[in-house]
Amino acid sequence: MPRIAYVNGRYVAHREASIHIEDRGYQFADGVYEVVPVFEGRLVDEEPHFDRLQYSLGELRIAPPCSRAALRFICCELLRRNDLRRGILYMQVTRGVAARDHKFPAAAKSALVVTTKNYGGPTAKLIEEGARVVTIPDIRWARCDIKSISLLPNVLGKQEAIERGAFEAWLIDREGNVTEGTSTNAWIVTADKRVVTRQLGNAILAGVTRASLRKLMTAEGYELEERPFSLAEAKNAAEAFLTSSTSLVLPITQIDDSRIADGKPGPMTRKLREAMLSYVNK
Ligand code: PLP
């Protein structure tokens, strides 16, 4: 069965799917995106992902390409056509096609692309042993709350992580605090078992997994602190982990050359991963 993509009103063979060379996403990275996890053939946290897409579009003054109901239909139809059970759904909206000129075009129609991919999540080995992260300066722009397709610093950061033998790079701001990963939110657990993650604001993306985990934690009675934490605090933490739609909750056992605690995934992290797994599979 050929893999199908949705491109501007049509379902087409993925390998033949294309957009115009003057699409502003291609020319200026003038667009936004969402990645939604798929479990049991179902979109997880569909509404918060649609809400964040609407927020990103609004902040950039890009018109929604269609109604939310139409978008929901397209996503479900694509899952059906690709018979996707477990993986991710990718949505991208750009300001559309127009002759290349920096200012907003007078009459461009927002462009919508939706694709799906089979993906089983991080390997069992990575989950069992925990991931390594390296740290790099956060050189991104001042609106990281917008899920923009302009991802060059994130791309360079992830590449550096891979070249240094790590899974992810954590980004460090000018004050020496961790903002987030290149495509993940960053968390630590203190010696007295309080879970800490950076507060929302322009410096980080409001992760949907972050929000869901926060709710699960409240329900389970865990203590959460939303505040900046320094790289030194992270290296001395009892546990560390990251969250994202693709990795859910993934333990971190090394930051740069520092092992976290005994170098094994921590008990709180394991519990939170289990809680997240039950949530996405329910
Ligand atoms: N932070 C950044 C910079 C990201 O790109 C992502 C996901 O792509 C996240 C955090 C995690 O967000 P979510 O949990 O919605 O996948």
| pLDDT tens, residue by residue, 106-140 | 988 999 999 999 999 999 999 999 999 999 999 99
pLDDT of 1 higher than 80: no
Query: How high is the pLDDT of residue 85?
Result: 97
Q: What is the mean pLDDT of residues 165-175?
A: 98
Q: How far, in Å, is the centroid of ligand 1 from the Cα of 181?
A: 8
For β-strands 131-137 and 248-255, DSSP reports them as: parallel
Q: How far, in Å, is the centroid of ligand 1 from the Cα of 155?
A: 13
Catalytic residue flag (residue 147)? yes
**Per-residue pLDDT tens for 234-257?**
999 999 999 999 999 999 999 999
Q: Could you say which DSSP state residue 15 is in?
A: G
Ligand 1 atom nearest residue 211's Cα: 14
Query: How high is the pLDDT of residue 220?
Result: 87
Instruction: For residue 63, give both structure tokens.
Output: 């018109």
Amino acid identity of residue 218, one-letter, is T
- Residue 202 · residue 142 · CB < 8 Å: yes
Pocket test for ligand 1, best of 89, 205, 215, 272 (most atoms within 8 A of CB): 205
**Per-residue pLDDT tens for 16-62?**
999 999 999 999 999 999 999 999 999 999 999 999 999 999 999 99
pLDDT of 282 higher than 90: no
Q: How far, in Å, is the centroid of ligand 1 from the Cα of 79?
A: 22
For β-strands 224-226 and 195-197, DSSP reports them as: parallel
Q: How confident is the model at residue 68 (pLDDT cuts 50, 70, 90)?
A: very high
Q: How far, in Å, is the centroid of ligand 1 from the Cα of 199?
A: 14
Ligand 1 atom nearest residue 144's Cα: 3
From residue 250, alpha-carbon distances to 126, 128, 144, 273, 275 in Å are: 8, 9, 22, 7, 12
**Per-residue pLDDT tens for 185-226?**
999 999 999 999 999 999 999 999 999 999 999 998 998 999
Say what the pTM is. Answer: 0.98
Ligand 1 atom nearest residue 37's Cα: 16
- Shortest-distance Cα residue to atom 6 of ligand 1: 183
Instruction: For residue 278, give both structure tokens.
Output: 């039950």
